[in-house]
Amino acid sequence: MVKVMSKLFSYVKACVDAGEGDFPKYCTTNNMIISKPDYYLNGKVPVIEDYAFALQVDGAPNVIINGKEHSFNSKRMLILNPYDEIEIKNNNFQHECKDSYTFIMISRELIEDMSYNLMGKSKVRFALDYNYITQQLNMLLLMIEKEAAQNGCGKSLMLDCFETQFVIQLLRDFKLDSKSDKKLDSHVNKNAIRLSVEFIEEYYNTNISLDELANVANMSKFHFIRIFKQVVGKTPYEYIIFKRIKEAESLLNTNALNISEIAKLCGFVNSSHFCTVFKNVVGVSPKRYLKQNV
């Protein structure tokens, strides 16, 4: 099973860091967090990269999702897809509930994996219409909570089974958004490229291969090259060179190292290669650059 990614906790952490009270964690599985908050937040909510579901209580505040206002009650489940823009219309900030509601976060990896195995498509967005809570979902949720509270033999395996059943039941019960999911694709691509850019920023002076960068972005090599150029405006090789030259300029400005030392520190094969690339990018040789900036 896919293990919980740290991003799954980002929403809870953001609430706590913002001083918005406690966000009590009720139980966890490998890919789910089930909470029982006894209050509502107010205003804009930090964007999360995973799926979130709330079993509301009557009197819950309305929620604006991607610019459209929705109302929910004890019979309807609030569904938040990855990267949804959310605002809670709660006039009484941190209004306490008469009864706590159930808030569930499920890792995007698990839902996408289940969706691909069942329907042959990994990108999933739940529609906000037909989302009435079924008896089967309620039963599975109770089974997860009960198992998580015990320490019986095979607990981890049982929770894995229950969370899989829960996700399959979600995919069965709730209508999927039939519209093109370009927004999710765009966010996923940008996030993947951001990770590869961070990798380059960290290891620019080493021999970085396309295979390494594609693996970081979790893409095929050719798809990665196309998306990287689309997002960054440069090919991966051009961005590596750009980063190396920027670092070289910084080191040249310190006037503390010679050209051979700078070439080595910035990941160039030798000083000759460095001088050639530097002149092609900057327009002058490293020596001329030094003279111009003395």
**Rounded Cα gap, residues 274 and 97, in angstroms:** 65
In this structure, the answer to whether residues 19 and 157 fall within a common structural domain is yes
Q: Are residues 59 and 105 in the same domain?
A: yes
Rg (CA), the chain: 25
* Range with lowest mean pLDDT among 95-99, 143-147, 271-275, 278-282: 95-99
Residue type, position 278, single letter = F
Choice between 113 and 219, residue whose per-residue pLDDT is larger: 113
Co-location of 15 and 154 in the same domain: yes
- Which residues contact residue 65 at a Cβ distance below 8 angstroms, ignoring those fewer than 6 apart? 80, 84, 85, 86, 128
CATH of the domain at 208: 1.10.10.60
- Segment 253-270, tens digit of pLDDT: 988 889 999 999 999 989
* Domain C-terminal end among 129, 154, 173: 173
- 220 and 132 in a common domain: no
Within a domain: 272: yes
Mean pLDDT confidence for 28-48: 77
13 shares its domain with 149: yes
pLDDT tens digits along 167-201: 998 888 887 776 545 555 666 677 788 889 989 99
Residue 158 has pLDDT above 50, yes or no: yes
The mean pLDDT of 202-209, rounded to a whole number, is 92
pLDDT at 78 over 90: no
pLDDT tens digits for range 106-123: 888 888 888 888 888 777
The reported pLDDT for the residue numbered 21 is 46
Please tell me whether residue 235 adopts helix, strand or coil conformation: coil
- pLDDT for res 241: 95
Which pLDDT band holds residue 61 (cuts at 50, 70, 90)? confident
For residue 143, give the CATH number of its domain: 2.60.120.10
Task: For residues 210 and 68, state if they share a domain.
Answer: no
What's the Cα-to-Cα distance from 21 to each of 36, 65, 112, rounded to whole Å? 13, 23, 32
Q: Are 123 and 267 in the same domain?
A: no
Which pLDDT belongs to residue 187?
Answer: 64
Structural domains of the chain, count: 2
Whether residue 249 is contained in a domain is answered as yes
Phi then psi for residue 47, to 5 deg, are -65, 135
Range of the domain at 208: 182-292
Tens-digit pLDDT profile for residues 2-19: 333 334 445 554 554 444
- For residue 198 the two structure tokens come to 């961070």
Task: Pick the last residue of a domain from 173, 193, 208.
Answer: 173
Q: Tell me how crowded residue 117 is: count the other CB atoms within 10 A of its CB.
A: 11
The chain-wide mean pLDDT, for the chain, equals: 79
* Last residue of one domain, picked from the residues 173, 202, 237: 173
The answer to whether residues 133 and 225 belong to one domain is: no
Residue 1 counted as domain residue: no
My answer on whether 11 and 29 are in the same domain is yes
Q: Tell me: the pLDDT tens digits for 221-235? A: 888 898 899 889 999
